[in-house]
Structure 1
Amino acid sequence: MSPNMELAKPRDFGEIISDTFTFIKENFKPLLKYFFIFCGLFLIFSAASMILIEIKAFNFYDSSYDPNAFDDSNAFSRVFSMIGGLLVYAVFMVLQYVALNVTVFCFMTLYRQKQNTLPTTEEMWGYIKYYYLKILGSNILLYILLIIGFMFCLVPGIYLSPIFALVTPIMIAENTSFGYAFNQSFKLIKDNWWSTFGVFVVIYIVLYVINLIVSVPSMILGAGNVFLHLTKNSQALSLPISIITTLLQSVSYFFHMLMVVAVGVVYFSLTEMKEGTGLMERINQFGTNEPTPGPEPEEY
């Protein structure tokens, strides 16, 4: 049996991409397990809010052809309700995105700390409940900065995107503040911006193709749902189709883990290249290892 993948080592462009897929392949079952445990609640809420939005949209469409049910005040209330639903959905999507990032980066951090072995559910929960609100607040601030950057001819936003992506893994892996992680992300990516950006572009293209393939059934069902609303007996099937379409889209969100793992691999690679922390840890262990054979005591 081959040993588990070492996270803390320098990598070139191709090795980062290949090791991203290798890490997911070696740890697919535990990653899938923790995805549903720690992100499942947000998936349910975001899916439920999207289903409600679709129902309201179809009801609004149907009522627009009913002169007895459609008036200006009713239309205003329906539009306002749909906007409110979209805002609720956006909030749950942000919470879901942060949960995914925190889950994956906590998993990778514990995996490295435990010398390339799997973390337990209790260890994962301890890390996630400690970091989630910290990462949520820092991500909201980063979103605002990115929006401002994209408003200035897109270039600042594009430049800052790979740098800001490293803030979350730095905060979790090094248990540090947002300010330190913010400054450290610029130091780590110095002289490596183009290679890091190239990795994220390649992973994004792969992720886009995967999502496109997975979303084909959703698009077919969505088109069928719209077509059914043009028929007389559409209400019986519109809700089940909306539920199935939304569930397919929610499950496909798991594949976004590909980008998160790529960010983690980039972080550990850049850290090893710049600081050599993994090498120093291995050197320090030479003088502490027991000469007698046997299993090492478990570390917490």
Structure 2
Amino acid sequence: MQSKVELAKVRDFGEIISDTFLFVRQNIKPLLKYFFTFCGIFVAAGIISASMFQLKWTGTINGIKSGAFNTNEYKPSPFSFFGPEYFLLLFFGMLSFIALIVTFLSYIALYKEKDKQVPTTEEMWGYIKYYFLRVFGSSILLHLLLTVATLLCLVPGIYLSPIFALIFPIMVLENASFSYAFNRSFFLIKDNWWVTFGSLVVIWIIFYVAIMVVSIPTSIINMVSLIAVPQKGGGAFSIPAAVIGAALQQLCQVFAILPITALALCYYNLTESKDGTSLMEKINKLGTITPNTDLPAEEY
């Protein structure tokens, strides 16, 4: 039987990627359970708002293609497709993003604290309700800073991305404030920027490829609908396919298990290479652990 992943250890680029998949495979059942338990309400709200937005978008496009609108008079503005549905989609998408980060990082923190044992629902809920608002506020500030850095020049935005990403695991895994996590992220990533950046890029590429693979069936249905249904101006987008596609995209958020796990492993890799925390814990435990044996006590 394969041993459980040791979270706190120094890893190279390849080990971060392979251990990410190994950890997820070993813990897939509880991870999925807590995904639907604590993120399910936000995902469901996202599915509803995404479906409403897709229905509006598809109905407008089909109306233009079928001639329902007088194209000489109908001059859509750049914001024609935006409305309450779109902003609801953004809002619930942001809440889902925060819930995913807090849920999976809380699981990893408790998993390490309990010596590779699956945490209970009550333990998870205690962590999530404690960190949710802290991570929520921090994410808004970090997105603003990252947006400004990217607009000023693309290079600073790229450079800061892995540094800012480390702030979330520092906050949850070290129970740290935002200011402490902000400064510590710069300290940890010094001399290790490329390994962290490369690992996260590869995992995010895998994440997006997984979403694309899941979305292929609905894309094929839409293409067939456009070709096979003769109407004025051409075929029409399939409304059921649009709704199903919107729902699948929201459910695909579960694949975020991969980049969040990789981010946590990057954090442990950096802390071990800088601080050697795990090694010091093992040294401190020497002589304090009583061996557990089934041998009977000696009698004289």
TM interval, short-chain normalised: 0.7 to 0.9
Change (3 A) 1:230 1:285: farther
**CA 1:230 to 1:165, structure 2 compared with 1: closer, same or farther past 3 Å?**
farther
- Cα gap change, 1:11/1:67 in structure 2, threshold over 3 Å: closer, same or farther? closer
Deviates more, 1:269-278 or 1:246-255: 246-255
Provide the TM-score with structure 2 as the length reference.
0.87
* CA shift for structure 1 position 67: 5.5
Counterpart residue number, 2:221 = 221
- In structure 2, the partner of 1:103 is 103
Contact 2:9-2:272 within 8 A present in 1 as well: yes
Identity over the aligned pairs, expressed in percent?
A: 47
Q: Quick check: 1:56–1:82 contact (8 Å CA) kept in 2?
A: no
Distance 1:71 1:48, change over 3 A: farther
Matches of 1:147 and 1:176, distance apart in 2:
24
Which residue type is aligned with residue 86 of structure 1? Y
In structure 2, stretches of 5+ residues that fail to align are: 295-300
Deviation (angstroms), 1:250:
2.0
1:16-54: per-residue Cα shift (whole Å, max 9, x none)?
111111111111111111111111111111111111111
- Work out the number of aligned pairs and report it: 289
The match for 1:15 is 15
- What secondary structure is seen at the aligned counterpart in 2 of 1:221? helix
1:89-100 alignment, distance < 5 Å: 89-100=89-100
Give CA deviations for 1:91-137 in whole Å, capped at 9, x if unaligned.
11111111111111111110110111111111111101110111010
Contact 1:42 1:92 in 2 (8 A): yes
Moved more, 214-223 or 90-99: 214-223
Task: Quote the residue 2:114 is aligned against.
Answer: 114
Residues 114-170 of structure 1: per-residue CA shift (max 9 Å, x gap): 111111111111101110111010011111111011112210000000001100000
Tell me how far apart the structure 1 counterparts of residues 85 and 170 of structure 2 sit (CA, whole Å).
Answer: 34
RMSD: 2.6
Normalised by the length of structure 1, the TM-score is 0.87
The residue that corresponds to 2:205 in the other structure is: 205
- Work out the CA distance in 2 between the residues paired with 1:112 and 1:16: 17
The one-letter code matched in structure 1 to 2:143 is Y
Aligned to 1:166: 166
* Structure with the larger helix share: 1
Which amino acid in 2 is paired with 1:200?
Answer: L
- Aligned runs of 1:68-87 on 2, under 5 Å? 82-87=82-87
- 1:66 is matched with which residue? 68
Partner of 2:140: 140
Alignment-mate amino acid for residue 17 of structure 1: I
Structure 1 counterpart SS, 2:126: helix
Listed as ranges, the gaps of 5+ residues in structure 1 are 295-300
Q: Deviations over 1:179-219 (max 9, x none)?
A: 00000000000000011111112222322332222221131
Q: Is the 8 A contact 1:4 1:117 kept in 2?
A: no
